[in-house]
Amino acid sequence: MILRFLGNILAVVIGLGIFTGLVIFLVFALASSGGSPSISQKSVLVFKLRGNITERDIDNPIPNFNNPLNPVTSGTGLLGILHNIKKAKQDSKIAGILLNLRGVSAGFASLKEIREALIDFKKSKKFVLAYGESLSEGAYYLASVADKIYVNPTGDIEFNGLSAERTFYKGALDKLEVKPEVFRVGTYKSAVEPYLVDKMSEASREQTESYLNSIYNLYLKDVSKSRGIALEELTKISDSLLVQNVQDALKYKLITHVGYYDEIEAEMKKRLGLKAKTRVKLVNYGKYREVKTEWSEQQSEPNANIAVIVAEGEIQSGNGGDGVIGSAKIVTALRTARKRKSVKAVVLRINSPGGSALASDVMWREIHLTRKVKPVIASMSDVAASGGYYIAMACDTIVAQPNTITGSIGIFSVYFDVSQLMKNKIGITTDYVNTGEFSALGNPNKPFTAKEKAIIQRGVNQGYESFTSKAAKDRGMQLDALKRIASGRVWSGSEAKANGLVDILGSFDDAVAIAAKRAKLKSGEYRLHYFPIEKPFLDKVRDNLGVSAKARQQIVKKELGEWYPYFEILKKVKEKPKVQARLPYDIVIK
């Protein structure tokens, strides 16, 4: 009894301690969020861009505290970066921008958007400088727009072309005696290949080479223009790996200086007219985005709005979350934008490889209902493919970057037969009593019959016909013509434009301008209103203090070690199969 009493007392004390700590964190967080910070004249805005670049900012609701059971995966928002570069262009206190780069975790379409914003910034006659201890291919893509590029003498620069990598699970499935049952439509719908083969099919390799070369050719053209180096020369430098160290990069004029950070500081002082011992006033991006300027205040004055609905991540039914597009949440945002009188047009910003065909179709319908009332413009980011293209095609106009990954018009479904795994590896068998011939259809503990396979394939075929028919109608194409460029094939933005899948090659700003023009709004007569609306502060704190699925995944991964890939396969086996409108695989370009 005494021990139980003492245990209860201890639990109460611990609970009070946690509550008190939470209150302290909340007070500090709220205090730190009050007021707009001020900056001095001749300040330099610094972009480090070390973490992920997402469409919108992902912040820790409690600064300087990270719950080990629910770590916050921070992300610097692309749309915020673009807004603040514009703000800095108009801000008389900002004299220039310093890009302090290394590796940048972003797709090349996002990087192109930032490059274009920096090029526009330079029209104000302000400087852009870049420094890196080492520069990845993506980091150099950004750095190439700078007036001066410094790289550490013992650092390195990557300039050898792009590579697309994918992983295959067939060998693991064979060892586990798991048999995949695949149902798909389309020569290029190769999302299922990792379960069937141990290397790329010829069709998959063909499409990958096509869009990868398209993306890299654009990369080289952009760098050629920024650095004043002939395209043929750049191609030779890359293909022959002529740049193997920073001295090579200097020799071939990819960079302007081999130097240390203090040397680029000296360059900034020279441009700012400062004495050698005077300190450069640097403003980190995290601070600057909280700064209010006359220009940024003007952006919130007009009554008319353009709703920007951000759809980022894999597509699923429900509300989704960070990195997941929940169809219910996007539908709510579309309905709100449609019914709100102050909203005159909608820009649907898409960064998604696709996902659930059902969830995609639910959003497709809501977009069509919205475009009956006001213009809806699709703005494609790094990826808008399969289910991501499904929702884009419903819009009035589709805007993509030339290096956006899109298309992949096709669907598939994967089931797994684990009967041999259960019997031979674990020693478990099952038996059934059914009321009908197909009562156990899709059960992973039994092999498929020929009739069952035919039923599922027929459903997938019907889904493909529905997808392609809707795409043909939305794009104003004959169905046969649409199918010739469908079959699950992935295209770059420029290839998609040539094939009629995209209307305009351009940026997010271009999409906004089209939406404004369609709504008959002039510049300065509107502001952007972002959806879905972010969670309230206290809700973010509550979520942060819980145990996340990601944290649980990390714990399992640590415990299982080299066996973790097999565990991931078993998870897929356990999941209920769904018809997917998804990219052929997770594209990793590096």
User: Which tokens go with 360?
Assistant: 């995609």
What's the mean pLDDT in 555-577? 64
Structure tokens, 270: 């020279």
Find the domain containing 533 and state its range: 302-415+438-540+577-589
Q: What is the CB neighbour count within 10 angstroms for residue 303?
A: 10
Interior/surface letters 210-219, b for 16+ CB within 10 angstroms, e for the rest: ebbebbbbbb
For 490-542, the pLDDT digits (tens) are 999 999 999 999 999 999 999 999 999 999 998 888 999 999 865 544 444 44
The mean pLDDT of 408-428, rounded to a whole number, is: 88
Task: Take residue 374 and report the two structure tokens written for it.
Answer: 């006001």
Predicted pLDDT at 282: 96
Could you give the number of structural domains in the chain? 2
Question: What is the phi/psi pair of residue 244, to 5°?
Answer: -115, -10
Indicate the DSSP class of residue 58: B
Query: Cα separation of 82 and 222, whole Å?
Result: 19
- Answer yes or no: are the C-beta atoms of 532 and 327 closer than 8 Å: no
Residue that finishes a domain, picked among 275, 294, 313: 294
What the block records as the tokens of 42 is: 């001749």
In a domain, 204, yes or no: no
Residues in the chain: 590
| Residues 317, 457 within the same domain | yes
Q: Where would I find the beta strands (DSSP E) of 265-396?
A: 281-284, 304-312, 314-316, 320-321, 324-326, 343-352, 354-356, 376-385
Query: Of 77 and 8, which is predicted with more confidence?
Result: 77
311 plus 290 within the same structural domain: no
Q: Considering the domain boundaries, does residue 12 fall inside one? A: no
Q: How far apart are CA 514 and CA 520, in angstroms?
A: 10
Whether residues 501 and 374 share a domain: the answer is yes
Higher pLDDT, 81 or 4: 81
Torsional sign, CA 412, 417, 421, 426 = positive
* Position 545 confidence tier, pLDDT thresholds 50, 70, 90: very low
Cα dihedral 308, 47, 244, 230 sign? positive
Asked, for residue 213, whether it belongs to a domain, the answer is: no
pLDDT digits (tens, 9 = 90+) for 202-243: 888 999 999 999 999 999 999 999 999 999 999 999 999 999
| Co-location of 105 and 154 in the same domain | yes
Whether residues 335 and 247 share a domain: the answer is no
Omega into 375 within 30° of 0, i.e. cis? Answer: no
Same domain, 277 and 325: no
Q: Which two tokens stand for residue 361?
A: 């179709």
Let me know if residue 66 belongs to a domain: yes
Whether residue 425 lies inside any domain: the answer is: no
Residue that the structure tokens 């060892």 belong to: 175
Same domain, 401 and 309: yes
Do 105 and 152 fall into the same domain?
A: yes
Q: What is the CATH number of the domain that holds 443?
A: 3.90.226.10
pTM: 0.84
pLDDT the model gives residue 27: 45
Give catalytic residues, as residue numbers: 189, 386
Q: Give yes or no: residues 262 and 377 share one domain.
A: no
| Statement: residue 57 has pLDDT above 70 | yes
